[in-house]
Chains A and B, each alone.
Chain A
Amino acid sequence: MEEFTADRTGGPENLVMQLSGSMTIHNAVEIRDALLEAFKEATKLTCDLEKVSDIDLAGLQLLCATHRSSCVSGKQFDVVGLDREDFSKVLECAGFARHIGCMQNENNRCIWVGGAQ
């Protein structure tokens, strides 16, 4: 379980947050705070998970919650670096991948649609 850090680059119109360390329950509070903070100013946020060492259910449901927030507030939230070999096992277990997006999302967009099926 590594320390979690978030490095932000870019402006509020296109904020990129490079997450690194462990996206697990141990750092869940920190991650939530970092995401909330980033969305305060940004209208578009992209989370780059490439440097994340490991992810668990707590991390996954945080991403989902963030996406929901963005839908409600009309902002854009993207996740990159999810399609990693070591994440695929976690995603498979978690069963997040789906065909139909969530209710909060009028366009039926969902980070998990077309994911690790």
Chain B
Amino acid sequence: MGKIIMTVDDSASVRQMVSFTLKQNGYDVVEAVDGKDGLQKLSSSKVDMIITDLNMPNLDGIGLIKGARALPACKFIPIVMLTTESQDSKKAEGKAAGATGWIVKPFKPEQLITVVKKVLG
């Protein structure tokens, strides 16, 4: 039974890369284009983990994390945010909102998998 991971990013190329890497490693992937899309999909489908960008139109990453934690099914699942080097304040904000960890962009597929394995086990 494969674990399901949601990737939320407004950049199609990053989404594609994340999605591809995860699938390569045996995970099932749900894609969402922004926070709003992500929350919508979360309400209808159960996921084991969320990987989200922070800067997104409509609803940003922080908003998505807060929204997800409010859902019973997502209360304790790992949520990892994608940040850039300079976004230390965002990192803290994300943690406060309930993020489990972060991945600094740019990252390589191996790093993504390392973090996924770390938080998802």
Interface, chain A (partner B; CB < 8 A): 25-26
* Residues on the B chain within 8 Å of A26, using CB: 75-76
A26 to B75, CA, bound (A): 8
A25 to B75, CA, bound (A): 9
Interface, chain B (partner A; CB < 8 A): 75-76
What are 3 A-B residue pairs whose CB atoms fall within 8 Å in the complex? A25-B76, A26-B75, A26-B76
- Chain B interface mostly: loop
**A24: nearest chain-B partner, CB-CB:** B76
**B48: nearest chain-A partner, CB-CB:** A1
Q: How far is the CB of B98 from chain A (nearest CB, A)?
A: 14
* Residues on the A chain within 8 Å of B75, using CB: 26
Q: How far is the CB of A27 from chain B (nearest CB, A)?
A: 10
* Residues on the B chain within 8 Å of A25, using CB: 76
Q: How far is the CB of A47 from chain B (nearest CB, A)?
A: 22
* Residues on the A chain within 8 Å of B76, using CB: 25-26
A25 to B76, CA, bound (A): 7
